[in-house]
Amino acid sequence: MKPSLQHPLIKNNILSTVGHTPLISLSRLFPEVEVDLFGKFESLNPAGSIKDRTALQLISHAMETGELQQGDTVIESSSGNMAIGLAQACIFNHLKLIVVVDPNINLSTVKILKAYGARIEQVSEPAEEGGYLEARLQRVHALLEETENSFWPNQYKNPQNPIAHYQTMHEISMALHGQLDYLFVATSTCGTLMGCAEYIKEHALPTKLVAVDAVGSVIFGGEPKKRLLQGHGAGKPSQFLDKSVVHDVIKVDDKECVEGCRELLNREAMFCGGSSGGVVSACKKYLPSLPKGSRCALLLGDRGERYLDTIYNPEWVAKHITCQPS
């Protein structure tokens, strides 16, 4: 019989490597300011983003409760990281996946999803009311009806979404022995934000939450406006958000996300996506108001590779960002 191999670097399977991402000291990012900065590097999740955690929690919970079984079909509307996180959890668990997307999906995400074996259903026209989001949801409902043994994780409403991020905050808190003054979190469903908030409350931590939202997102109010970068922001209010747990909200536009990405890459050699850039820019705006010696952590949500055609493509930036009136 083979001796069983046990070592912290040996993992049971790929899904057991989701989470436990490193917290990296960002000492070069803003050296002129006397604060302690850390980045939670979620790119190191196996499918590349913080949404690996959410997807795994939603799928594992549904399998544990019997709502979902091997061979079933998962159907979800998402055109980004959640879809990729689901694709990973589904292929591992022998589940079929249909992702409903709209024409704004980027080509590299389509290629990644296809590689994982997901079926892609693209809506071509926005709904008369509610735009592409509504059109995608209508298609999800139609597919659920016509597909036997199908399951909709519904990341916007499923309580397992924030539950996934209780663990995210646990990891940060353990690494810093509970000593964290500010946590900067990009928001979309607000699952991350609210999961961290729950942990902070239960453990009576001193951490204040700073939510980072997109200009043109409606999460914290305001009119919806066109946004070019995926990840953070939403065109409809969050079902999870409790504004009373949020210390402050900072809105960032696409240009600030691009600038933040460049700063992270040039100063820390960290190649991250748009919401990470947004969090960096939000933190930069906020730093002057912080007491000296404050300790801050930034949730850095995904990898730069997904934005090679946009944020990291100088022609795209020149066309869509630099020339855009700010």
Ligand X SMILES: Cc1ncc(COP(=O)(O)O)c(C=O)c1O
Interface residue list for ligand X (CB under 6 A): 49-51, 80-82, 186-193, 231-232, 273, 275, 301-302
- CB closer to ligand X out of 81 and 93: 81
Q: How far is the CB of 140 from ligand X (least distance, A)?
A: 17
- CB closer to ligand X out of 180 and 261: 261
Q: How far is the CB of 227 from ligand X (least distance, A)?
A: 13
Q: How far is the CB of 99 from ligand X (least distance, A)?
A: 13
- CB closer to ligand X out of 72 and 261: 261
- Annotate 197-261 with DSSP letters as a single string: HHHHHHTT--PEEEEEEETT--TTSS--------SS--SS--SS--GGG-SEEEEE-HHHHHHHH
- CB closer to ligand X out of 93 and 189: 189
- CB closer to ligand X out of 72 and 77: 77
DSSP designation for 49 = B
| Cα–Cα dist 311/305, whole Å | 10
- CB closer to ligand X out of 95 and 214: 214
How buried is residue 134: exposed, middle or buried, by Cβ count under 10 Å (0-12/13-18/19+)? middle
Tokens of 106: 């980027």
Q: How far is the CB of 236 from ligand X (least distance, A)?
A: 12
- CB closer to ligand X out of 257 and 321: 257
- Angle between the 274-286 and 254-268 helix axes, to the nearest 10 degrees? 90
Q: Is 289 helix (H, G, I), strand (E, B) or coil?
A: helix
- CB closer to ligand X out of 15 and 273: 273
- CB closer to ligand X out of 19 and 80: 80
Q: How far is the CB of 315 from ligand X (least distance, A)?
A: 23
What is the gyration radius of the CA atoms in the chain, in angstroms?
19
Q: How far is the CB of 206 from ligand X (least distance, A)?
A: 23
| Cα–Cα dist 137/101, whole Å | 10
| Whole-Å CA distances, 6 to 2, 11, 184 | 12, 9, 36
| Other residues' Cβ atoms within 10 Å of the Cβ of residue 137 | 19
Q: How far is the CB of 326 from ligand X (least distance, A)?
A: 23
Q: Are residues 50 and 80 in contact, defined by beta-carbon separation less than 8 angstroms?
A: no
Q: Are residues 168 and 19 in contact, defined by beta-carbon separation less than 8 angstroms?
A: yes
Q: How far is the CB of 234 from ligand X (least distance, A)?
A: 8
Q: How many CA atoms lie within 13 A of 248 on its CB side?
A: 17
Q: How far is the CB of 132 from ligand X (least distance, A)?
A: 16
- Nearest residue to ligand X by CB is 301
Q: Smallest Cα–Cα separation from 193: which of 224, 214, 166, 175?
A: 166
